[in-house]
C-alpha cells in the first residue's frame, strides 16, 4: 500500500466518521446495568452556520461523552436544531427582499413553505458541520424527522411536549397570563424577545415642550426625544430632590394638543440633569415609564396600533386596546380613587374615547408623520420651546 505524500484530513476524517456512525458507535446502550450519562446539546439555530462558540462548546461536550463512553457508561449525547422563529423569519425575508418580494406577496401558506425550505437547507448545513467536527452525537436518538439529524424543535413530538409542560405549569399556578410591555416590531408584526434586541446609541434631537399648569400660574417645560407618544402621556415627572419643581408636585398640568389634565409626580427615576429635569410619563410606550406608572398607579394609554400608526376610530375594536390600568397581577392594587378615575375616563363610548385621546387629524398617521405634525401644531400654539 502506497502512502500519500501529504496528509488529507478531509478524506481521512470523513472516512472514519462515516465508519463510526454506520457501526452505531455513538448510539446509547440498551444494557440496563450501565450507569447513564447524558448530555443535552443546546440546539443551534437553523439560521446559518456554526461559529467558533459552537465549536468550543461541542468540543467540551464531545470530550466528556467519549470519556464516559470509554469508562463503560451508557453515554447518550442528544442533539438537534432550534427553529429560532424570529431570526429565521428575518433571514428568509431578506432573501425575498433581494428578489424584490415580501412575505405578503407569497401569502401565509407560501411564506411558511419558503421558511421550511430554508430550514431544510440550513439545518442540513449545520449537521454536516457538526459531523465534520467529529462530534460523537447520537443522531438517531429523538430523530423526529428520520434524517439522522436529531430532533427539531418544531417537530410534532417536540411541540406536544412543550404544550404538555406548559399546561402542567399553568395548572400548578407557576405561570399565568398577565399584561406586560414588549418589544413590538411593526415590520415583522410580532413581539421580539429582549435577547434579540440590541440597543444602539445614535444622535437625535430633544424637543422641549411647554405644559401649562392647570391653575394658570405658569407652565413646566418637558424634554422628550419622542413627541409622537405625547398623546399617551398620563403624568409629568420630576426628581423629588429637585428644588426647582418641589412646589408643583401634586399639581396638574394640561396636556398640549388635547388639553387633558395629568398630574405632576415625583420619582427618583428622573435625572434632574437631563434636559429640563422634567419628563413626560407614557407607561404604554416606554419600559422606564412603565415602571414609573406601576409605582404610582397611573393609567396606560396606548396610542399606536400594530403597524405603528396612531389609532383611529376605524381600527380600535375594544377599549382595552387603547386604555388600561395596572392591576394585582402586575404587583399593584389600585386605590379606590384610582379605580374611580379610570372608570370615569373609560366610561365614554368607544368612538368618544378614541377621539378624546387622539384628535381626528392625527388618527391613522404613521409614527414619524405624527411626530412632524405634532411639532408643527405645537409650534403654532406657541408651546414648542426648542
Sign of the four-CA dihedral 149, 155, 159, 160: negative
Residues 75, 164 within the same domain: yes
Residues 287, 215 within the same domain: yes
Q: What's the rounded Cα separation, in Å, for the pair 7 and 157? A: 44
pLDDT at 191 over 80: yes
More confident residue, 98 or 321: 98
Q: What's the rounded Cα separation, in Å, for the pair 233 and 221? A: 14
In degrees, rounded to 5, the angle at the alpha carbon of residue 51 between the alpha carbons of residues 53 and 11 is 115
pTM for the model stands at: 0.71
The residue count for the chain: 386
Q: What's the rounded Cα separation, in Å, for the pair 237 and 355? A: 25
Residues 223, 167 within the same domain: no
pLDDT at 331 over 80: no
Q: Which three cell numbers stand for residue 176?
A: 399565568
Segments forming the whole domain that contains residue 105: 9-171
Q: Answer for the pair 23, 140: CB distance below 8 angstroms, yes or no.
A: no
Q: Answer for the pair 301, 280: CB distance below 8 angstroms, yes or no.
A: no
pLDDT average, residue stretch 42-63: 88
Residues 211, 167 within the same domain: no
- pLDDT per position as a tens digit, 210-225: 999 998 888 999 989 9
Residues 156, 254 within the same domain: no
Sign of the four-CA dihedral 43, 44, 46, 49: negative
Number of structural domains in the chain: 2
Residues 6+ apart with CB under 8 A from 89: 103, 115, 188
Instruction: Mean pLDDT check: name the lowest of 51-60, 139-148, 204-213, 308-317.
Output: 139-148
What does the DSSP 8-state code read for residue 34?
Answer: S
Residues 142, 44 within the same domain: yes
Residues 40, 112 within the same domain: yes
pLDDT at 48 over 90: no
Amino acid at each position: 500500500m502506497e502512502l500519500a505524500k501529504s496528509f488529507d484530513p478531509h478524506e481521512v476524517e470523513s472516512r472514519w466518521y462515516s465508519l463510526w456512525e454506520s457501526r452505531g458507535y455513538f448510539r446509547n446502550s440498551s444494557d440496563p446495568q450501565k450507569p447513564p450519562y447524558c448530555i443535552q446539546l443546546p440546539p443551534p439555530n437553523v439560521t446559518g452556520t456554526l461559529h467558533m462558540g459552537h465549536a468550543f462548546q461541542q468540543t467540551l461536550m464531545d470530550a466528556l461523552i467519549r470519556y464516559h463512553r470509554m469508562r463503560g457508561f451508557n453515554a447518550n449525547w442528544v442533539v438537534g436544531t432550534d427553529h429560532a422563529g424570529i431570526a429565521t423569519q428575518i433571514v428568509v425575508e431578506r432573501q425575498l427582499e433581494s428578489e424584490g418580494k415580501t412575505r405578503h406577496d407569497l401569502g401565509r401558506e407560501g411564506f411558511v413553505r419558503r421558511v421550511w425550505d430554508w430550514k431544510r437547507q440550513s439545518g442540513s448545513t449545520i449537521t454536516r458541520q457538526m459531523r465534520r467536527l467529529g462530534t460523537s452525537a447520537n443522531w438517531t436518538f429523538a430523530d423526529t424527522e428520520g434524517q439522522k439529524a436529531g430532533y427539531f424543535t418544531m417537530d410534532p413530538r417536540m411541540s406536544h411536549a412543550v404544550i404538555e409542560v406548559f399546561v402542567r405549569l399553568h395548572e400548578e399556578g407557576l405561570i399565568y397570563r398577565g399584561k406586560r410591555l414588549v418589544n413590538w416590531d411593526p415590520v415583522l408584526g410580532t413581539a421580539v424577545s429582549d435577547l434579540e434586541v440590541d440597543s444602539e446609541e445614535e444622535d437625535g434631537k430633544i424637543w422641549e415642550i411647554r405644559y401649562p399648569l392647570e391653575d394658570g400660574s405658569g407652565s413646566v417645560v418637558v424634554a422628550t426625544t419622542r413627541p409622537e407618544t405625547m398623546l399617551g402621556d398620563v403624568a409629568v415627572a420630576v426628581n423629588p430632590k429637585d428644588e426647582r419643581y418641589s412646589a408643583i408636585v401634586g399639581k396638574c398640568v394640561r396636556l398640549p394638543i388635547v388639553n387633558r389634565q395629568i398630574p405632576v409626580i415625583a420619582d427618583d427615576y428622573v435625572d434632574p440633569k437631563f434636559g429640563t429635569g422634567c419628563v413626560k410619563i407614557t407607561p404604554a410606550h416606554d419600559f422606564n415609564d412603565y415602571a414609573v406608572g406601576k409605582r404610582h398607579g397611573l393609567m396606560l394609554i396606548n396610542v399606536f396600533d400594530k403597524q405603528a400608526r396612531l389609532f383611529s376610530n376605524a381600527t380600535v375594536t375594544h377599549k382595552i386596546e387603547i386604555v388600561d390600568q395596572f392591576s394585582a397581577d402586575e404587583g399593584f392594587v389600585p386605590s379606590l380613587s384610582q379605580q374611580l378615575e379610570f372608570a370615569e375616563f373609560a366610561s365614554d363610548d368607544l368612538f368618544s374615547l378614541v377621539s378624546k385621546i387622539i384628535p381626528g387629524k392625527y388618527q391613522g398617521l404613521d409614527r414619524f408623520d405624527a411626530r412632524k405634525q405634532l411639532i408643527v401644531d405645537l409650534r403654532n400654539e406657541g408651546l414648542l420651546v426648542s
